[in-house]
Chains A and B, each alone.
Chain A
Amino acid sequence: MALEDVCGFEETLLHRKWFPASYLEDSATSYRTTDSYNSGLRQEKSVGNNGTPLHFLMPALPYSTTFNRRRSFPVPPANHSVTVRRPFPLSHGTTTLGFIFQGGVIAAADTRASAGGLVACPAVHKITPIHSHLVVTSSGSGADCMLWERILAREIRLYQLRHRRRLSIRGAAKLLSFMLHPFKGTEVCVALTLCGWDKEAGNTDCVQRSEDSFSQDATAIAHSASPHRGPKLIYVCSDGARLQGDVFSVGSGSPYAYGVLDRELRWTLSKDEAVSLAREAVFRATHRDAYSGNNVDLFLITAKGWSQRKREDLKEEYYRDMERRAKRVEERKRLTEIDASR
């Protein structure tokens, strides 16, 4: 994808032959990716395609003509979308969470992909690295998330190639949010949390600071008043919401995760405490939420980049938890017996 854009492949006749759908007229919904501000190497693409905001190759399905119909219909209400009928009910079951603490950013998620009442896949990767200092947790529709992660990765890489510096996390979030905006009101359902570490100051062009300065500078990074460098956590959703904060949990299991996180989360956690808190939150959420489960993935992002913990099966954790409880009950029974016999 990126190579295609950079080489100007889309202007060639070969591309037109391979992807004829991209040249049909619909200026009202035409959409430009960041390619359009290339300096005069290509003409302004004034046409979009087929009514879809991006260059998608349209399959010849019986229902695909509904996309064309959008043009000539008298205005349907904005949130009413015409879609292909689904083969099975989609569900947005997941538990993902991210939080910032003194040692960096933790991103954790379960690994279950559900489709209605079926576990479509028990071992999905919901946390995807985009570049060395940015990781994205996804929830919502799996296919949409995969696609938009790739699109985001492409646009960030293109930015880096064109401007010779890496886009800040806030910039990436804004870019993603603006790219998702044309799809508002359609059935695209994407809720991503960008967890990353900004190495450079956001607005200035210079800056090769030593990495020591931010590992000791805990006070500056303390609150989400966004200094330009340091850990960042931004939630972007296909509704258009874009929120920067210290802790986010997304998905059907998120209320349960918040319940655990809100009680014990503090800035001063050690790395091990933070990891175990994230695991615990995901575990409790997967216990209660039917649409989350199987394993837990955990990533830690620091100034040096992201590192991944080995994927852990929560079934084992459940049995360990049961044993711990049984032991505690035993202990308490024993102690009350001792007390009573005094």
Chain B
Amino acid sequence: MEYLIGIQGPDFVLVAADNVAASSIIQMKHDYDKMFKLSEKILMLCVGEAGDTVQFAEYIQKNVQLYKMRNGYELSPAAAANFTRKNLAEYLRSRTPYHVNLLLAGYDDTDGPGLYYMDYLSSLAKAPFAAHGYGAFLTLSILDRHYRPDLTREEAVDLLKKCIEELNKRFILNLPSFTVRLIDKEGIHDLEKLTSGAK
């Protein structure tokens, strides 16, 4: 139902998420933002069960901020990803597991850009491109075919547009618009929202 996608380039990460907040068959909101800013250069995209997403994401967000306040420097994306994974794993075998699927994207000043895929069973994988949701079945092969590690920003946005075109063509659910953001050494930039045009 929900869709997340991330594409890593040589010095940036491009991420996009759909904007629908649904409750059974009804779209309750069509401008809902599923990205949570963990720090100046780390974004977490979170989908899954209704309350769990916001609760878990805000918990991680506040903890990352707390780390910065206590220690004076920010967590790197790799550290934040592992911290998130550890929390998810701890809750997994408790009475209240969080059913959330995440993409964590960030830019580290020493290591460069990073994209981390995490699912509700708290498996963590660093990947050059990743997607969550039913839409992933349709778009991962497009990413496999056209991805190159040296994509420019325009090429990455084109690749993203190709994926969204495919969704609009073959996915039975209507996902009218997508929030797109780009992270590079300057921070997080909002790009133009991608809409399906036919409204």
Chain A residues contacting B50 (CB-CB under 8 Å) are 237, 239-241
- Partner-binding segment picked from A8-16, A242-250, A270-278: A242-250
Contact between A239 and B51, CB atoms less than 8 A apart: yes
Contact between A245 and B29, CB atoms less than 8 A apart: yes
Contact between A241 and B55, CB atoms less than 8 A apart: no
The smallest C-beta distance from A189 to any residue of chain B, in angstroms, reads: 13
* Contact code string A165-185 (vs B, CB < 8 Å = 1, else 0): 000000000000100110011
The smallest C-beta distance from A20 to any residue of chain B, in angstroms, reads: 25
The smallest C-beta distance from A225 to any residue of chain B, in angstroms, reads: 9
Chain A residues contacting B93 (CB-CB under 8 Å) are 75
Q: Is A254 an interface residue (CB 8 A)?
A: yes
Chain B residues contacting A28 (CB-CB under 8 Å) are 95
Interface size of A by CB at 8 A reads: 22
Q: Is A255 an interface residue (CB 8 A)?
A: yes
Contact between B26 and A242, CB atoms less than 8 A apart: no
Contact between A78 and B28, CB atoms less than 8 A apart: no
* Distance between Cα atoms of A28 and B91 in the complex (Å): 13
Given that A184-B51, A240-B49 are contacting pairs, would A75 and B25 also be in contact in the complex, using a CB cutoff of 8 Å? no
Chain B residue with the shortest CB-CB distance to A70: B95
* Distance between Cα atoms of A224 and B52 in the complex (Å): 23
Q: Is B138 an interface residue (CB 8 A)?
A: no
The smallest C-beta distance from B62 to any residue of chain A, in angstroms, reads: 12
Contact between A241 and B21, CB atoms less than 8 A apart: yes
Extra contacts besides A75-B95, A184-B51, A255-B26 (16): CB < 8 Å: A28-B95, A177-B51, A181-B51, A184-B52, A184-B96, A185-B96, A237-B50, A239-B50, A239-B51, A240-B50, A240-B51, A240-B54, A240-B55, A241-B51, A242-B51, A242-B54
List the interface of chain B (C-beta within 8 A of A): 21, 23, 25-26, 28-29, 31-32, 49-52, 54-55, 93-97
19 CB contacts below 8 A, A to B, read: A28-B95, A75-B93, A76-B95, A78-B95, A177-B54, A181-B51, A185-B96, A237-B50, A239-B49, A240-B50, A241-B50, A241-B51, A241-B54, A242-B51, A242-B54, A243-B28, A245-B28, A255-B25, A255-B26
Closest 5 A-B residue pairs measured CB to CB? A240-B51, A239-B50, A241-B50, A245-B29, A239-B51
